[in-house]
């Protein structure tokens, strides 16, 4: 048989061009590069990126940006100084999400203790699936999940950190299905009847994505009516569950929301729990955005009844600023449902004859194999400021929203769509040329164009970032998210001034 690895005429392996004792990487040079790169990160991202005198973004269109970054990957490596310039360019042209005037998304700001945890977990570069390769983090994740469950109101339970709230929501659907029809794991969709999921029109799109991915089907996601505040109507939920039962379908799961994406609404969990218990339906709470109110004595009432749920999705990377990503799925279940549902029992990882307690090998609770350490940043931050400090952050954000709304009401041209229940402030800016002309035939079309034009201007000038969207019959409006501990009342005032400046000529 031909030699798969032929030698050259002088007997040497041509693939072995270096002495095998010669390292491919100069570690001293690599460490020097890392040190210099860190200096750039601290200066460009953590100093300039949090300074109100600096821009939120240095906007470039895709063609110009690609040219500036020189994205092409080549056969030969580049010298260190050029690489350091690459680091600086990436920092310069990226959006500064830690900037006090970044109000665009449900994440913002920076916590330096959490950031240290992120750096440390990246440097350690382990996989959180077995105790033998991640002993510290298996124990740490267990404790963090236990503490989160206590805030929900559970003394026992289970959980896992997931790669985002969408995955947490999908896991909850999968667990609910497995609980009713465990044979689905081996037999597939042939083993189950038509299943239905219930959620509001204002819930996160991951509910429909999860139904599609799991083979339940988006047509079987039943949309429940909401009240004037965007909260699920429990009476309509009850009627729709009865209707699907009469049609021969099996009600599988109700996905409630604590902190809807656009309005920030909190569904009435106690009343929904009554309906779920009546029909024996799994109750899942998507608290990815709003879950952190549980730290606050002042505001935890928004999630009254959460302890009656079967599962809760909670993203500390949002309101608590642990950094992306940090998403927990919490379960009241004590029957090891997570592992039963998701395990594949790979014997090269999860041997049953190990010298330690194999229950510490948590990797088979998830559909992932590779899993990043997401608990360290939250643990280190929580250790630093305590539950009291985290509660203060929640309360400060609510106070800033209250101040913003008060100032908005004093200014002509700002029109609140709803009194905010949470940290989502939704409003129209009415330019002077449109005030008093609400009855005009083209008023709604003109109003729909205001937010996109102002948004384009604010991004290109780099002064502020605020999101916008339509909702139902409401044309484009701004949604300003206030959560970062770096934000001040001055930033609230500046934001209103800037929107006026950018939109007064429209």
- The pLDDT tens digits along the chain (506 residues) read 444 444 444 555 555 555 666 666 677 888 999 999 999 999 999 999 999 999 999 999 999 999 999 999 999 999 999 999 999 999 999 999 999 999 999 999 999 999 999 999 999 999 999 999 999 999 999 999 999 999 999 999 999 999 999 999 999 999 999 999 999 999 999 999 999 999 999 999 999 999 999 999 999 999 999 999 999 999 999 999 999 999 999 999 999 999 999 999 999 999 999 999 999 999 999 999 999 999 999 999 999 999 999 999 999 999 999 999 999 999 999 999 999 999 999 999 999 999 999 999 999 999 999 999 999 999 999 999 999 999 999 999 999 999 999 999 999 999 999 999 999 999 999 999 999 999 999 999 999 999 999 999 999 999 999 999 999 999 999 999 999 999 999 999 999 999 999 999 99
CB of 224 closer than 8 Å to CB of 275: no
| Residue 45: CA count within 13 A, CB half-sphere | 19
Q: Is residue 91 part of a domain?
A: yes
DSSP string of 432-463, one letter each residue: GGGTT-TTSTTHHHHHHHHHHHHHHHHHHHTS
Domain termination residue (choose one: 330, 346, 373): 373
The closest of 179, 169, 166 to 252, measured between CA atoms, is: 179
- Say yes or no: 77 and 222 in one domain: no
Q: What is the dihedral of CA 459, 465, 469, 475, to 10 degrees?
A: -80
In total, how many domains does the chain have? 2
Q: Is residue 121 part of a domain?
A: no
CATH number at 136 reads 3.40.640.10
pTM: 0.93
Q: Which backbone phi and psi does 8 adopt, to 5 degrees?
A: -75, 175
- Say yes or no: 69 and 196 in one domain: no
Q: Is residue 10 part of a domain?
A: no
Domain termination residue (choose one: 84, 100, 116): 100
CB of 105 closer than 8 Å to CB of 97: yes
Q: Is residue 494 part of a domain?
A: no
Residue 493 and residue 436: Cα distance in Å, rounded? 25
Boundaries of domain holding 356:
126-373
Q: Is the peptide bond before 361 cis (omega within 30 degrees of 0)?
A: no
Q: Is residue 51 part of a domain?
A: yes
Domain termination residue (choose one: 354, 373, 392): 373
């Amino acid at each position: 048989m031909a030699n798969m690895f032929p030698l050259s005429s002088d007997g040497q392996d041509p693939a072995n061009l270096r002495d095998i004792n010669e390292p491919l990487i100069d570690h001293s040079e690599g460490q020097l590069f890392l040190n210099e790169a860190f200096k750039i990160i601290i200066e460009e991202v953590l100093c300039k990126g949090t300074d109100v005198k600096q821009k939120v973004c240095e906007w470039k269109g895709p063609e110009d940006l690609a040219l500036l970054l020189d994205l092409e990957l080549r056969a030969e490596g580049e010298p260190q100084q050029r690489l350091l310039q690459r680091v600086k360019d990436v920092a310069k042209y990226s959006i500064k999400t830690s900037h006090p005037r970044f109000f665009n998304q449900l994440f913002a700001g920076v916590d330096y203790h959490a950031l240290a945890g992120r750096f440390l977990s990246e440097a350690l570069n382990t996989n959180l699936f077995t105790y033998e390769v991640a002993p510290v983090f298996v124990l740490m994740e267990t404790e963090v999940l236990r503490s989160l469950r206590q805030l929900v109101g559970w003394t026992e339970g289970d959980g896992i950190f997931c790669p985002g709230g969408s995955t947490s929501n999908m896991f909850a659907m999968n667990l609910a299905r497995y609980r009713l029809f465990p044979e689905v794991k081996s037999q597939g969709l042939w083993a189950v009847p038509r299943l239905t999921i219930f959620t509001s029109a204002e819930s996160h799109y991951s509910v429909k994505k999860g139904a599609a991915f799991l083979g339940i089907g988006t047509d079987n996601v039943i949309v429940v009516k909401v009240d004037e505040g965007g909260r699920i109507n429990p009476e309509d939920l009850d009627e729709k569950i009865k209707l699907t039962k009469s049609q021969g379908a099996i009600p599988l799961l109700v996905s409630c929301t604590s902190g809807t994406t656009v309005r920030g609404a909190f569904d009435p969990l106690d009343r929904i729990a009554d309906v779920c218990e009546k029909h024996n339906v799994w109750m899942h709470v998507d608290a990815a955005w709003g879950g952190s109110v549980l730290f606050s004595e002042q505001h935890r009432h928004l999630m009254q009844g959460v302890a009656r749920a079967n599962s809760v999705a909670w993203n500390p990377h949002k309101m608590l600023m642990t950094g992306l990503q940090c998403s927990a799925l919490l379960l009241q279940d004590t029957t090891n449902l997570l592992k039963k549902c998701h395990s594949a029992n790979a014997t090269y990882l999860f041997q049953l004859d190990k010298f330690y307690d194999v229950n510490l090998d948590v990797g088979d609770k998830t559909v992932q194999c590779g899993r990043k350490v997401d608990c360290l940043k939250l643990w280190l931050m929580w250790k630093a400021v305590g539950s009291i400090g985290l509660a203060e952050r929640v309360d400060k954000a609510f106070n800033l929203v209250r101040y913003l709304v008060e100032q908005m009401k004093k200014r002509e041209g700002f029109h609140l769509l709803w009194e905010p229940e949470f940290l989502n402030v939704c409003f129209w800016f009415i330019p002077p040329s449109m005030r008093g002309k609400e009855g005009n035939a083209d008023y709604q079309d003109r109003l729909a164009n205001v937010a996109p034009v102002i948004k384009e201007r604010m991004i290109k000038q780099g002064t502020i970032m605020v999101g916008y969207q339509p909702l139902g019959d409401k044309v484009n409006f701004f949604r300003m998210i206030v959560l970062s501990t770096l934000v001040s009342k001055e930033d609230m005032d500046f934001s209103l001034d800037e929107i006026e400046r950018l939109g007064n000529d429209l």
